[in-house]
A and B are shown apart, each in its own frame.
Chain A
Amino acid sequence: DSGVTQTPKHLITATGQRVTLRCSPRSGDLSVYWYQQSLDQGLQFLIQYYNGEERAKGNILERFSAQQFPDLHSELNLSSLELGDSALYFCASSDGTGATEAFFGQGTRLTVV
């Protein structure tokens, strides 16, 4: 158990809908990262938050947004969903004080039908 909790584990929704994925980082971790893993595209970095502020942005679509709350949990919002958004979405956290690794949650599998 990495200590990073993601909910829900599975999500099935229709095209055009909006969903929210939630991530609770390890206790004390300040940095949260979101990644998308598709079958054919490996692991794509989406966005990083550090202590409530956006720190880095990767290949995140405009239809997607994220935030990190004062209690450090984070949410990834996906809107106007398309079939191609079906993927595993991973959250990772690190302590932001010099730790060398990021700890990953088990992921949320999103299926858009």
Chain B
Amino acid sequence: GEDVEQSLFLSVREGDSSVINCTYTDSSSTYLYWYKQEPGAGLQLLTYIFSNMDMKQDQRLTVLLNKKDKHLSLRIADTQTGDSAIYFCAERAWGSASKIIFGSGTRLSIRP
């Protein structure tokens, strides 16, 4: 079955890098996403990666995909207080009408 797992909490010092990890089970996953949820708000897509890619970089964000281990990570460089949020990893199988399965979310808190 499909399952996406993440650690629940991460605390980092302001200015350091944050690395949020995720594992998934569905080998047919084609799209892998990172969403951000700020307090009181809905989810917003941060970035995504296709399963045929190993890495994607977008400004301060770097996504690494290890397809063999079904492991996805999100690195946020120079973490700022505005990065405090819950980060959700999600997977989606091939097919435009397939469902998207989310992990439980990692709450990132920033220490001064």
Contact = CB atoms under 8 A, between A and B. Distances in A.
B24 interface: no
B92 to A, nearest CB: 8
Nearest to B101: A45
- Residue from A33, A55, A104, A106 whose CB has the most chain B CB atoms within 10 Å: A104
Contact of B88 (A43, A100, A105): A43
Contacts of B45: 101-103
Contact of B44 (A55, A100, A104): A104
A79 to B, nearest CB: 23
Contact of A42 (B31, B98, B105): B105
Interface residues of B, number: 21
A105 B42 contact: yes
Interface stretch (A12-20, A61-69, A70-78, A90-98): A90-98
Contacts of B96: 31, 94-99
A107 interface: yes
Given A96-B96, A99-B96, A100-B31, A43 B102 contact: yes
A36 to B, nearest CB: 11
B102 A42 contact: yes
Contacts of A56: 98-99
A86 interface: no
9 contacts: A30-B97, A31-B97, A42-B104, A48-B97, A48-B99, A90-B42, A96-B96, A100-B48, A106-B42
The 10 A-B residue pairs whose C-beta atoms are closest, nearest first, are A42-B104, A56-B99, A104-B42, A43-B102, A104-B43, A50-B97, A98-B96, A101-B45, A106-B42, A48-B99
